[in-house]
A and B are shown apart, each in its own frame.
Chain A
Amino acid sequence: MAYPANYRYTKEHEWISLEGKIGTVGITDYAQNSLGDIVYVDVPKVGDSVTANASFGSVESVKAVSDLYSPVTGTVTAVNEELKTSPDKINEAPHEAWIIKVELSDPSEYEKLLDAAAYEKFVSEETGA
């Protein structure tokens, strides 16, 4: 699956797309593929603050749990309620099934993240492919 060129990525395999000051965050196709069937997503509440590179929640597959790391610092403005009942949406469409939306306190953080090409290169190095 191609990594959208208009997104930015972290080395922890989250993606973020930015519209104004609002960033939408999810996990990448590589992440969902490594985790396998996702059964639960633990997310913060609207109004909670998140910090770049710090855990903001976790994603649980059949036999493993992984922390979710925020690509940016800011305040949670929305959580994807659909994932409560259908966490498998992440497996189906990882780059559409967003997890949280964050109002960035420092929009310049976005610029420091990996672009699609750099992320793809990072993944291929990590997998040795």
Chain B
Amino acid sequence: MRYLPKSPAEREQMLKAIGAQSIDDLFAIIPAEYRLTRDLDVPRQQAESEIIAYFKAAGQKNATDYTSFLGAGAYRHYRPVIIDSLVQRGEFLTSYTPYQAEITQGTLQAIFEFQTMIAELTGMDVANASMYDGSTGAAEAVLMAMRVTGRHKAVVASTVHPEYREVLATYLQHRDLATAQIGYVAESGRVDLDALAAAVTEETAAVLVQSPNFFGVIEDIPAIAEIAHKRGALLIVSIAEAVSLGIVRPPVEADIVSMEAQSFGVALSYGGPFCGVIAAKEQYLRQMPGRLAGQTVDGNGNRGFVLTLSTREQHIRREKATSNICTNQALVALMATIFLTVYGKEGIRELAEHNLAKAAYAGKTLSAQPGAKLLFEGAPHFHEFVLQTQESPAQWTQRLLDEKIVGGIELTRWYPELKNATLWCATEVTPREAIDQAAKVLAAAPVEA
């Protein structure tokens, strides 16, 4: 990008055009007490070479050579190089959202393929493109269920990502919609089905669960669906780790699936942008939020793509739109589309198996250390697990950091009952040596005096 400062002559010209004598004259309307009388406290201007040197030095501070066992809704996976080389093409990058829809056939085709792959993966009939992230997707899914059923209550599992639940609360705070929270079974970490059955009534619009849930545990979706459907409520399944669909049975019993697709080739980038998506049974299509690309045939009989059912959206339906989402995550969805195309059906399965094996090894190795044990072993997991240690996590966290390892995240901030419990994640990019090293560090607890 070129840097184009204004010249004194240009300033003069602009002032003249608006009839002001000077810059001070221009701002005379602002009372003196609100005007800054000194220079801004910012560093002096720098040359291009100095700026590059500055950012190189700042970049050195990034902890790039650490192994991280953090997961909890943001996952580290390998990103094929082709993703960035394709999404940075001007045809995709600058026209990332199709305002003049039908003229951007390539973008629409990419969106259509994204929707098709998401629908196939989730076992739903239709998928949109897209929501902001998994949390807003889950919240929008609840609002959608409310519109479909005409009911005003939601039952939410406490094993749904705690931050997703916070976003849901934000979305619902000014709406006439109450939520009830359902706990989990201590042995399995799964939704307490008895409590769920007691909480779901004829007034329940939706049951919201997550699978794999926040503890990495796969929920019993058919059993939950039966409870929800018996009372005419919709089942929403939130998926925070999209790669799990490579091996976990898709939640076909759900009415709506809301998903975070970050794992499909989207960099973590300090927390965003991510890519949410809502998929659903076809009968609920009209109440879906967000963009939908459709396939059609043009006047010459050629295959073409359109934005379809736009009448759900705010540029047409205004305040009665199904959502206020407008510029979606199309470019990020494109990253996911490329990722899925590169990996393919078999590739996603192999990737998921690799993750599963890594996490199983990590769980086994770490829990074999003195004073450590796994929680929720009574149910299947994907690539996250909860480790409970005798030592407080604050103590071993520092020892791990000294070895350039970021350990699991403490759960007590969200689940006070889970003392000294941490949530760990291992993926295909977690080196086995780092797992072994982390186990050694855990075992090396200082001897108590």
Contact = CB atoms under 8 A, between A and B. Distances in A.
B320 interface: yes
A48 to B, nearest CB: 8
A64 B317 CA distance: 8
A63 B320 CA distance: 15
B57 interface: no
Contacts of A65: 311, 316-317, 320
A58 B316 contact: no
B286 A63 contact: no
B317 to A, nearest CB: 5
Interface string B19-41: 00000000000000000000000
A64 B403 CA distance: 61
A64 B286 contact: no
Place the interface of chain A in its size category.
under 10
Contacts of B310: 63
Contact of B316 (A42, A45, A64, A67): A64
Interface in B271-290: 286
Contacts of A7: none
Contacts of B150: 45
Nearest to A61: B311
A19 B299 CA distance: 47
Interface in B306-320: 310-311, 316-317, 320
A40 B287 CA distance: 13
Interface string A56-71: 0010100111010000
What's the interface size class on B, roughly? under 10
Contacts of A40: 286, 311
A80 B449 CA distance: 81
Interface in B118-168: 150
Contact of B311 (A45, A64, A67): A64
Contacts of B316: 63-65
Interface string B315-355: 01100100000000000000000000000000000000000
A65 B322 CA distance: 13
Contacts of B320: 58, 65, 67
A67 B316 CA distance: 12
Given A60-B311, A64-B311, A65-B311, A42 B317 contact: no
**Residue from A40, A63, A65 with most neighbouring chain B CB atoms (10 Å):** A65
Interface string A29-45: 00000000000101001
16 contacts: A40-B286, A40-B311, A42-B286, A45-B150, A58-B320, A60-B311, A63-B310, A63-B311, A63-B316, A64-B311, A64-B316, A65-B311, A65-B316, A65-B317, A65-B320, A67-B320
Interface of B: 150, 286, 310-311, 316-317, 320
Given A42-B286, A65-B316, 10 more contacts: A40-B286, A40-B311, A45-B150, A58-B320, A63-B311, A64-B311, A64-B316, A65-B311, A65-B317, A65-B320
